[in-house]
Amino acid sequence: MFRVKTERFFGSDLLAYQYRRIGQQQGFYGILPDEIRQLNVRNPLTLRLTEGKTGEELRQIFLTQTPNGKLLQRLGDRLKFTVSRVEIQQADYISWIDNGL
């Protein structure tokens, strides 16, 4: 599923809304996970740009040039966290969260 370029909303907007609503309802709003896993990533651009990359180079490319990473970066901007590290394990992308605590 792809976002229409003229649309003003992003997937990160939906995720932030869901997190706020469910977090408030269940009593965990404001508590962030240590990591976010994107399982079985198949986006061709993400796979191509990150192939063979590790460390800071992977983190920078993932967050600034790939659709999967940009979604996570926008979510971090909305929820006030940064991604300190990104790892690839087979087809899964694991992003380690730093919320400043």
Q: Which residue has the higher pLDDT, 3 or 49?
A: 49
pTM of the complete model: 0.82
Helix (H) or strand (E) holding 83: strand 82-89
**Identity of the highest mean pLDDT range in 15-19, 36-40, 79-83:** 36-40
pLDDT tops 60 at residue 33: yes
Share of the chain above pLDDT 70, in %: 94
Strand 82-89 with 35-38, pairing: unpaired
What distance lies between CA 100 and its chain's CA centroid? 17
Interhelix angle 67-79/55-65, nearest 10 degrees? 90
Q: pLDDT tens, 49-71?
A: 999 999 999 999 999 999 999 99
